[in-house]
């Protein structure tokens, strides 16, 4: 089944219009929809969180770092030892065993204004 002259011309002309319309639809730029309320709220929340993180980082940078060796004594045999204290240990209790009498004790670390304070008690 072939197309006669009129049909072929009509078919070719119709296809050209369809292809042109499809091409125009592809090249049209779509407008970006306006930011809805939920997206704006989410963006605002993210910005506030980022500002809080940056402020916290600034405070941490201004805080003096502690990295010292502190002399401690075993509460059982009074043997002296040293404990390495760093800033991250603030407020922690550390279980230790004496290297001489092998009995356990607890060292409580507190850091105040860049100074390490360690209290020791029998466990």
For 37-93, the pLDDT digits (tens) are: 888 889 999 999 999 988 887 766 666 788 999 999 999 999 999 999 998 999 999
**Residue length of the chain:** 123
Q: What is the pLDDT of residue 92?
A: 94
Q: What is the DSSP string of 9-74?
A: HHHHHHHHHHHHHHHHHHHSPPPPPPPPHHHHHHHHHHHHHHHHHHHHHHHHHHSPP-EEEEEEE-
Q: Are strands 67-73 and 80-86 parallel, antiparallel or unpaired?
A: antiparallel
Q: Would you say the C-alpha torsion 63, 69, 70, 74 has a positive or negative sign?
A: positive
Confidence of residue 123 (pLDDT cuts 50, 70, 90): confident
pTM listed for this prediction: 0.49
What b/e string do you get for 91-115 counting C-beta neighbours within 10 Å, with b at 16 or more?
eeeeebebeeeeeebebebebeeee
Q: What is the pLDDT of residue 46?
A: 93
């Amino acid at each position: 089944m072939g197309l006669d002259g009129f049909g072929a011309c009509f078919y070719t002309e119709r296809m050209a219009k369809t292809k042109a319309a499809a091409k125009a639809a592809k090249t049209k730029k779509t407008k970006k929809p306006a930011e809805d309320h939920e997206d704006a709220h989410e963006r605002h929340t993210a910005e506030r969180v980022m500002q809080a993180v940056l402020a916290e980082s600034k405070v941490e940078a201004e805080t003096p770092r502690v990295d010292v060796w502190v002399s401690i004594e075993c509460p059982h045999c009074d043997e002296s030892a040293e404990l390495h204290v760093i800033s991250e240990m603030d407020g922690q209790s550390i279980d230790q065993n004496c290297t001489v009498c092998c009995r356990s004790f607890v060292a409580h670390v507190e850091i105040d204004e860049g100074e390490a304070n360690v209290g020791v008690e029998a466990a």
